[in-house]
Amino acid sequence: MTTERRKKSRRGQEIIEFGLVAVLYVPLLTGGFVVGMNLIRSIECNQTCRDLTDMFIHGADFSTYQYQQLAQKLAGGLNLQIGSSFSGNEQSNTGNSGNGLVTVTEIMYVGTTSGAQCQSVAPATCTNANSFVYLSQVQFGNSSLANSNTVTLGTCPSAVMNSAGIVQNPITASQAQVGSSGQSAMSSLWQSGSNGTTALTDGQTVYIVETYFQSPDLSIGSFAGNGVYARYFF
Amino acid sequence: MRSRDRKNERGTSLFLGTMALVFIVPLVGLFIDVGVLYAAKARLQAAVDGASLAAARALVLGETTTAQASAAQQNAVNWFYANFPTGNWATSGTVMSTSSVSVFDDPNNPDLRNVTVTASTTVPTYFMKWFNIASTTISASGNASRRDVVAMMVLDRSGSMCNGGSNPCTGTSSTPCGSMVTAAKVFTGEFAEGRDRIGLISFSDSSYVHSAPSTSFQSTLGYTNDSGSGTGQIDNISCSGGTSTAQAMGMAYQLLYETNLPGALNVILLETDGLPNALALNFYDSTNNAVGLNSTDNACKDTSGKTMNGGGFKTAGVIPSWTPGLQLNASPFLTTNPLFSNVPAGMVATIDSSDPGSTTFWSMINYWTTFGQTQSTGTTSYPYNAVAGSGSPSLLTSTNSPGSNSCTFQGTGGYGKSSIPDIAWFPATDIMTNQLNPSAYSYLSVTTDAKGHILNNNWTNFHNAVMNATDNSAYLARSNTTLPVTIYAIGLGGNSTTGPPDPVLLQRMANDPNGDTFNATPQYSACASETNCETWSTQPQGKFIYSPNATSLGTAFNAIASQVLRLSK
Size of interface A-B (CB pairs under 8 A): 162
ipTM of the complex: 0.89
Q: What are phi and psi of A46, to 5 degrees?
A: -60, -45
Cβ contact (<8 Å) for B39 and A43? yes
Q: CB distance A40–B35 less than 8 Å?
A: yes
In sequence order, the 6+-apart residues with CB closer than 8 A to the CB of B233 are B200, B210, B211, B220, B221, B222
pLDDT at residue A17 in the model: 79
φ and ψ of B425, to 5 deg: -155, 165
Phi, psi at residue A59, to the nearest 5°?
105, 5
Query: Over the stretch A197-211, which tens digit does the pLDDT of each residue have?
Result: 999 999 899 999 999
Q: Is the peptide bond between B503 and the residue preceding it cis, with omega within 30 degrees of 0?
A: no
The tally of CA atoms less than 13 A away on the side-chain side of residue B247 is 32
Q: How confident is the model at residue B172 (pLDDT cuts 50, 70, 90)?
A: confident
Contact A14 B554 (CB under 8 A): no
Contacts of B78 in chain A (CB under 8 A): 190, 197-198, 200
CA distance A57 to A205: 12
- Residue A27 exposed, middle or buried by CB count within 10 Å (0-12, 13-18, 19+): exposed
pLDDT in tens, B98-121: 999 999 999 988 889 999 999 999
Cα nearest neighbour of A199 on chain B: B78
Q: Which one, of B272, B148, B268, lies nearest residue B560 by Cα?
A: B268
Q: Which residues of chain A make contact with B224, given a CB cutoff of 8 A?
A: 116
- Of residues B161 and B131, the one with the higher pLDDT is B161
What would the pLDDT profile of B509-543 be if each residue is shown by its tens digit? 999 998 898 888 889 999 999 999 999 999 999 99
pTM, two decimals, is 0.79
Residues of A whose CB is below 8 A from B121: none
Is a pLDDT exceeding 90 seen at residue B376? no
Cα B487 to Cα A115, B111, B359, B464: the distances in Å are 30, 19, 29, 22
- Cross-chain residue pair B517–A17, CB shorter than 8 Å: no
DSSP string, B337-363: S-SSPPBPSBSEEEEEE--TTT--EEE
Give SS3 for A26.
helix
Whether B224 and A116 lie within 8 Å, measured CB to CB: yes
Contacts of A202 (CB under 8 A, 6+ apart): A109, A110, A111, A112, A115, A116, A117, A118, B226
Q: Residue B400 has what pLDDT?
A: 30
Q: What secondary structure letter does DSSP report for A160?
A: G
Q: Which of B50, B224, B554 sits opposite A232 (nearest CB)?
A: B50
Residue B417's CB: how many other CB atoms inside 10 A? 23
Amino acid at B274: G
DSSP alpha helix (H) spans, B149-232: 176-189, 217-221
* Cβ atoms within 10 Å, residue B378: 11
Condensed to tens digits (0 to 9), the pLDDT of residues A124-135 reads: 889 999 999 999
In order, the DSSP letters of B475-519 are HHHHH-SSS--EEEEEEE-SS-SSS---HHHHHHHHT--S---SS
Confidence of residue A31 (pLDDT cuts 50, 70, 90): confident
Q: B152 with B256: CB under 8 angstroms?
A: yes
Per-residue model confidence (pLDDT) at position B396: 29
Are B229 and B223 contacting, i.e. CB atoms less than 8 angstroms apart? Answer: yes
**pLDDT recorded at residue B381:** 27
Q: Is the dihedral of CA B62, B66, B68, B70 positive or negative?
A: negative
Spatial CB neighbours of B329, under 8 Å, sequence gap ≥ 6:
B258, B335, B336, B338, B342
Task: State whether residue B225 sits within 8 Å of chain A by CB.
Answer: yes
CB B405 within 8 A of CB B343: no
Closest CA to A96 of A70, A68, A76: A68
Rounded CA-CA distance A139/A3 in Å is 73
For residue A224, CA distances in Å to A35, A99, B17, B36 come to 11, 14, 28, 19
Average pLDDT over residues B68-80: 96
Tally Cβ neighbours within 10 Å of residue A23. 11
Check residue A179 and report its DSSP letter: P
Torsion over CA: A5, A9, A11, A13 (sign): negative
Supply the pLDDT for residue B122: 97
Banded model confidence at residue B370, pLDDT cuts 50, 70, 90: very low
**Lowest-confidence pick of A118-127, B27-36, B410-419:** B410-419
